[in-house]
């Protein structure tokens, strides 16, 4: 597990100082100096901070804040590139305007030397690469922030692709995460508008996600699960995983020689059918989502190869999504109600699909939903851009502070990516027409006799379990009451305004009584001619009359300022 500890004391901060200064320098460079000043970092880290230049780069001034954040992440290296890529899939954690920009982050870094490959093999298997493989190319096929891929041949002659994790990457990630956690804690403490986005939660979610991504055994499991889904589908191929030479830091899979789905000229030269490839690719992704509920969450062109006979091959299962049956049905209800332009049902479906702290005002929400439908649906179905429709739907949800769970967003993003890839191959590709059979199948599945019988049995089982458990829970409750271990705690909400009004009323009444008492007392003193006298009038009475007048005017002004007498 990644070891992430809070940087709360100076000793730990000093240990991270070199990296901390580098991060702050880059953030200042891209115009985030105002944000860092609001964090009040100086009181936590003083040594060497004065050496950081606060001069902004001129080019950063002309860019949007999301663009500057992307460029800063690119310069800060592997951990921050991964952070940006993962955040681009989390609309529940960051504003919508940042998602598109962070999606552009490219995970390309210089390869590490082959001597480091030897070190990784030795640490995982205790042998040299020559003992593990028949041959292993020293030049990598591809290099990324977490690892790089080499071509190899196993002892039994199988051609494989081997992904080796970058040495020391775990320690680099841990240091960066600790600094991120410190900055996030300061953000929640000092910047109110950022605290809503819960930066500490973002860092912790990122750490959990990254933990899965740097464990290659999880990716291997994802590949095997996907392969089982399509055992009987001839036009889908998932590379084989070689478990004997796979660990958490080394992944060995079948080597695939194919054509990237975006290389149109090569597809044409090979005599492959672009329309058929598009249709099969759509069926592959939609089947994963709607039939199986487990899908490749990053089906961009670099991860989709085309093999002879128009066979589709998926690579790189480092990011996968899971949606249960109920979520799939809720999503189908949403799409169905949007396509049929039923704003009330669409609003309810979106509320059911998301989570929120405060439900939006339904009339306003339905009106915005109707406006959203009007922008997208009054055109031929084949002209509807499904990816743009989903993006605007996400923006609508965000405007009402509805948070879309990450796996649902990954599903939406996968469908959007599928549409963009499909239109590269076939400009006439109709996403809605291809999705319609899957949507219809999900809708009809609810009415299958086996499904209804299963739901009834499940409900009966839960009811029986409740009836069996309820007497025992009741006895436990009675025992707690008897032993005085139970307390009744009441919380009231919304009474603060009423209590404040009551306080105001009682204060005014008390003030009025005091004024009346002063007037009556003053009148008695004047009538009694209590000395000292001025022009035959008691001075004490005059003073008390004046005090009553001032207090009365004060009370009147206070009432008039509230706008109510």
Active site residues: 298
Query: How many CB atoms sit inside 10 A of residue 224's CB?
Result: 14
3-state secondary structure of 12: helix
Stated as kind and residue range, the H or E segment containing 320 is: strand 320-322
Q: How far is the C-alpha of 360 from the C-alpha of 357, rounded, in Å?
A: 9
Contact status, residue 151 vs residue 159, Cβ threshold 8 Å: yes
CA distances from 141 to 146, 147, 152, 161, 378 (A): 14, 11, 11, 9, 47
Phi/psi at 533 (nearest 5 deg)? Answer: -115, 145
Phi/psi at 300 (nearest 5 deg)? Answer: -80, 165
Tokens 């992307």 appear where? Answer: 70
Query: How many CB atoms sit inside 10 A of residue 75's CB?
Result: 16
Q: How far is the C-alpha of 158 from the C-alpha of 152, rounded, in Å?
A: 8
Spell 449-480 as b/e; 16+ CB within 10 A means b: eeeeeeeeeeeeeeeeeeeeeeeeeeeeeeee
Contact status, residue 265 vs residue 177, Cβ threshold 8 Å: no
Q: Which two tokens stand for residue 517?
A: 């008492």
**CA-wise closest residue to 267 among 309, 315, 237:** 309
The DSSP line for 203-267 is HHHHHHHHHHHT-HHHHHHHHHHHHHHTTT-TTEE-PPB-GGG--SSEEEEE----EETT-HHHH
């Amino acid at each position: 597990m990644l070891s992430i500890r809070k940087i709360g004391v100076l000793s730990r901060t000093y240990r991270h100082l070199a990296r901390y200064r580098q991060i702050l320098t880059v953030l200042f460079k891209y115009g985030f100096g105002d944000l860092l000043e609001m964090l009040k970092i100086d009181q936590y880290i003083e040594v060497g901070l004065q050496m950081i230049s606060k001069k902004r780069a001129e080019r950063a001034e002309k860019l949007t804040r999301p663009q500057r954040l992307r460029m800063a992440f690119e310069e800060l290296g592997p951990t921050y590139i991964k952070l940006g890529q993962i955040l681009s899939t989390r609309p529940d954690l960051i504003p919508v305007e940042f998602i598109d920009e962070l999606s552009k982050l490219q995970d390309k870094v210089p390869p590490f030397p082959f001597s480091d490959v030897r070190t990784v093999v030795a640490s995982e298997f205790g042998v040299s690469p020559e003992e593990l493989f028949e041959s292993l190319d020293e030049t990598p096929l591809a290099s990324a922030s977490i690892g790089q891929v080499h071509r190899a041949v196993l002892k039994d002659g199988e051609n494989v692709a081997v992904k080796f994790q970058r040495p020391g990457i775990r320690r680099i990630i841990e240091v960066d995460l600790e600094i991120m956690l410190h900055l996030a804690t300061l953000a929640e403490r000092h910047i109110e508008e950022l605290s809503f986005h819960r930066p500490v939660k973002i860092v912790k979610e990122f750490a959990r996600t990254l933990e899965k991504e740097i464990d290659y055994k999880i990716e291997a499991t994802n590949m095997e699960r996907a392969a089982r889904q399509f055992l009987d589908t001839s036009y889908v191929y998932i590379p084989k995983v070689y478990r004997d030479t796979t660990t958490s830091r080394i992944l060995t899979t079948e080597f695939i020689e194919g054509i990237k789905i975006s290389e149109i000229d090569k597809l044409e030269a090979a005599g492959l059918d672009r329309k058929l490839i598009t249709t099969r690719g759509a069926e592959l992704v939609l089947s994963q989502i709607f039939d199986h509920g487990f899908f490749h969450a990053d089906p961009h062109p670099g991860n989709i190869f085309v093999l002879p006979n128009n066979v589709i091959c998926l690579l790189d299962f480092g990011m996968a999504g899971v949606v249960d049956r109920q979520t799939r049905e809720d999503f189908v209800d949403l799409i169905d109600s949007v396509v049929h332009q039923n704003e009330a049902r669409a609003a309810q479906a979106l509320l059911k699909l998301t989570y929120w702290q405060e439900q939006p005002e339904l009339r306003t929400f339905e009106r915005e939903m109707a406006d959203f439908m009007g922008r997208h649906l009054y055109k031929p179905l084949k002209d509807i851009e499904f990816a743009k429709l989903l993006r605007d739907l996400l923006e609508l949800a965000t405007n009402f502070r509805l948070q879309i769970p990450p796996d649902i967003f990954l599903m939406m993003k996968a469908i959007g990516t599928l549409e963009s890839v499909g239109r590269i191959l076939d400009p006439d590709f109709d996403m809605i027409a291809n999705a319609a059979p899957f949507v219809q199948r999900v809708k009809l599945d609810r009415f299958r006799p086996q499904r209804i019988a299963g739901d009834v049995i499940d409900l009966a089982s839960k009811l029986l379990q409740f009836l069996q458990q309820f007497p025992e829970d009741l006895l436990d409750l009675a025992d707690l009451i008897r032993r005085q271990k139970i307390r009744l705690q009441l919380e009231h909400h919304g009474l603060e305004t009423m209590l404040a009004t009551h306080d105001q009323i009682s204060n005014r009444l008390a003030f009025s009584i005091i004024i009346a008492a002063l007037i009556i007392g003053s009148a008695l003193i004047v009538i009694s001619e209590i000395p000292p006298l001025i022009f035959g009038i008691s001075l004490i009475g005059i003073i008390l009359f004046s005090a009553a007048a001032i207090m009365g005017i004060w009370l009147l002004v206070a009432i008039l300022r509230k706008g109510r007498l």
